[in-house]
Structure 1
Amino acid sequence: MTTTRFAPSPTGYIHVGNLRTALMNCLIARAAKGSFILRIDDTDPDRSKKEYVDAIKEDLTWLGLTWDEIARQSDRLDRYEAAAQQLRDMGRLYECFETPTELDLKRKKQLNMGKPPVYDRSALALTDKEKTRLREERGDGHWRFKLDHERIEWDDGILGRRSIDAASVSDPVLIRGDGQFLYTLASVCDDIDFEITDVVRGADHVTNTATQIQIIAGLGGKVPNFAHHSLLTGPSGEALSKRLGTLALRDLREAGIEPMALLCLMARLGSGDPVELRTSMDEIVDGFEISKFGAAPTKFDVEDLFPLTARVLHSLPLTQVAEHVAAAGVPSELAERFWEVTRDNITTLKELKEWWKLLSHGAEPVIAEEDKFFVLKAMALLPEGPFDDETWTNWTSKVREVTGRKGRELFMPLRKALTGQSHGPDMSSLMPLLQVIKARD
């Protein structure tokens, strides 16, 4: 069975870059009728927070990305210790004692000599006596996985055939000096135990994948199918990393972005397929193929989400937005008409409050100097409310007879006088909703 996973760290709110990874893994699982696992990577007790775990679940639920199983790495520490001991017994995990400063000096020396800045494995030459002395002086050391210096190859679902010389990569640290298990070991154990078949993640993980393939083999696991999607950039190609704080999913939700707009964009962005608006997750799954995505950096512009959101809203019936209409203050007896009139004239649901405020409290009229006398005459001809579907047509016909104005010169000043806007819903439909007209005052 196809099994994928999304593995966020609860050290902050998830953003559009995280979403891309989550969505691709979810779509692969759903297309294959498989399983999608939410794995909380919380092995760092100092930075992992419950509030972020809750936020991750809330954001995914808002988007409609449901998971079939949830796992927390903090519940699996015994498993990671057993795996670490297995690797020690095999001679594949060794203790090192260099400080960050010492490692930095080694890297600089290697670079100056024209060599790749990889760990020199000097810890392998330490005697038991030297290790004891170093522990007494510095405390417990960190533990590195000893890579086999050979080429590591795999067929990447996006990047194609990949080959990395393990000798060009430092032996990865799997356990810190304070005993904390790092992502590389914990993730490998989880992928083995949960029988993960497919892993999609960012292109910045390619080197991690190479080392993890060897660790998986060392622990006797089956290597998943790996695919590495391109990294997102800003609309001008600038690094997106500095802007991710403003692109958290909860910020997009607060801005009024509709889930389906976000999903439709992210499900096709960077692929050979055009972005098309869908109405359900099943429709998004149809036609999704990881091989269609390219390796080049992918431009993401948050502004693209607003016209998509508007298109989503234009197609929705009142039943799907009734809570938002009610929250805007619209009486239930006017809700249906209000939504029919306004939905084609909003970009986000946040604008509903302003529309009802305009209709219920009146808009500040916008009247050009040359139109003041005309509007004054027209308002004298406007009947008292309540208005109906014929009010606008009958009124403007009478105004045309009295003033001689017609076309845009007739309609636009009246629209702006009543609504304060030069565009908006059809006035015949809008008039029955007008509760107050300030231009009369």
Structure 2
Amino acid sequence: MFITRIAPSPTGDFHLGTARTAYFNWLAARASGGRFLLRIDDTDLARNNEASVGVIHDCMTWLGLDHDATFRQSDRLDRYRDVAADLVTRGRAVVADNGAILMKDGQSTPWTDRISGLQAVGQAHDALARNQVLIKADGMPVYHFASVVDDIDMGVNLVIRGIDHLTNTFRHSAIYAALDAPLPEFAHLGLIMLDGRKMSKRDGAASLLGYRDAGIDPDAMLNFLLRMGWGPAKDDKSMAVIGRDRALGLFLDGGRMKNSPAAFDAAKLASYDRKYKAARRDLAAPAP
């Protein structure tokens, strides 16, 4: 049974990469009879936009990705500070002259990615983890620390995210070790690419609500997202269309996630959209 989460920041549009991450984590949780959580990472006070919180909920609703619990990191600030203070008490963190709390001699641990296999610790990884900041001088938690504390508290045991977070996992492994907590499983997906570069929030086509407002079928979008990072074990004509119910049966054991880059293909999305809309029209048509 997997407990998974999606953790968007309310700092801009909900983009395709976030939507794919949400769908994959939803599939893993639902296919295993587990739980799927929505966490709003809103500790960046300077960049938070309350309207973006609404966008996050709108996107999840449009895609039909129901979640079992929702929480905001801004409601848990005392928890992060208490955990950091306990690490100081136990000699695993120190308070700097400016009041920030830093890890003391933290060490990354090897871990196995569900896609890429064993990840050995190198000197550069240990350097990132050793004296990393946990609580900033202004009292706010660093993303890496808050994320780990949340995942431990919520029982998250599988984290599916983009491969751009791969290095972060070495930081996080040191925090898990300092907190005497087991590592969850990790799976790092290849990035979605547009014209040979990583697709980002700055790309107009990346905004999910733009597709909703253009009338794209939400199930067509999910099928499109699924195939940009996952493939069935037997990929033939019978797999041309994979709706969410079928994806639930296939996701964990009938295929595998991929760490290779996935090219954004607008024509492919349009093709899925036509197929799903045609299927809906056929279902709605009166019987002869």
TM-score by length of 1: 0.59
The amino acid of 1:180's aligned partner reads M
Contact 2:201 2:207 in 1 (8 A): no
The equivalent residue for 1:157 is: 114
State the shift of 1:192 in Å: 0.7
- Residue of structure 2 equivalent to 1:73: 73
CA contact (8 A) 1:157 1:225 kept: yes
> C-alpha separation between the residues in 2 aligned to 1:293 and 1:86?
38
Deviations 1:65-102 (A, max 9, x none): 11011111111111111111011112332344xxxxxx
Q: 1:231 aligns to what?
A: 191
Q: Determine the C-alpha separation between the residues in 1 that align with 2:105 and 2:267.
A: 45
Supply the AA of the counterpart residue of 2:115.
I
Structure having greater relative contact order (Cα 8 Å, sep ≥ 6): 2
Instruction: Give the residue type in structure 2 aligned to 1:294.
Output: K
Residue in structure 2 matched with residue 286 of structure 1 by the alignment: 249
In structure 2, the residue matched to 1:300 is: 264
Deviations 1:263-310 (A, max 9, x none): 01211223333563234x222212113872222222122332111101
The residue correspondences of 1:372-387 to structure 2 (distance < 5 A) are: none
Residue pair 1:198, 1:224 contacting (<8 A) in 2 also: yes
Number of the residue aligned with 1:254: 213
Structure ID, larger Rg: 1
Could you tell me how far 1:318 is from its partner in structure 2? 8.1
Aligned-partner Cα distance in 2 for 1:288–1:305 = 20
Q: Secondary structure at the match of 2:203?
A: helix
Look up the SS of the partner of 1:226 in the other structure. strand
Q: How many residues align?
A: 278
- Give the TM-score taking structure 2 as reference length: 0.88
Query: Given the alignment, which residue of 165, 170, 190 partners 1:210?
Result: 170
Q: Shift in Å at residue 243 of structure 1?
A: 5.1
The answer to whether the 8 A contact 2:106-2:175 is kept is no
How large is the Cα RMSD of the aligned pairs?
A: 2.4
> Is the Cα contact below 8 Å between 1:264 and 1:276 reproduced in 2?
no
- SS across alignment from 1:164: coil
**Structure with higher helix content:** 1
Structure showing the higher strand proportion among its residues: 2
Gapped regions of structure 1 (runs ≥ 5): 97-130, 132-139, 321-335, 338-441
Gaps of 5+ in 2: none
One of 188, 206, 226 as aligned partner of 2:148: 188
Deviations 1:354-396 (A, max 9, x none): xxxxxxxxxxxxxxxxxxxxxxxxxxxxxxxxxxxxxxxxxxx
Name the residue aligned to 2:224: 265
| Rounded Cα–Cα distance in structure 1 between residues aligned with 2:176 and 2:271 | 45
**Distance in 2 between residues matched to 1:245 and 1:175, nearest whole Å:** 34
- 2:91 corresponding residue in structure 1: 91
In 2, Cα distance between equivalents of 1:56 and 1:255: 18
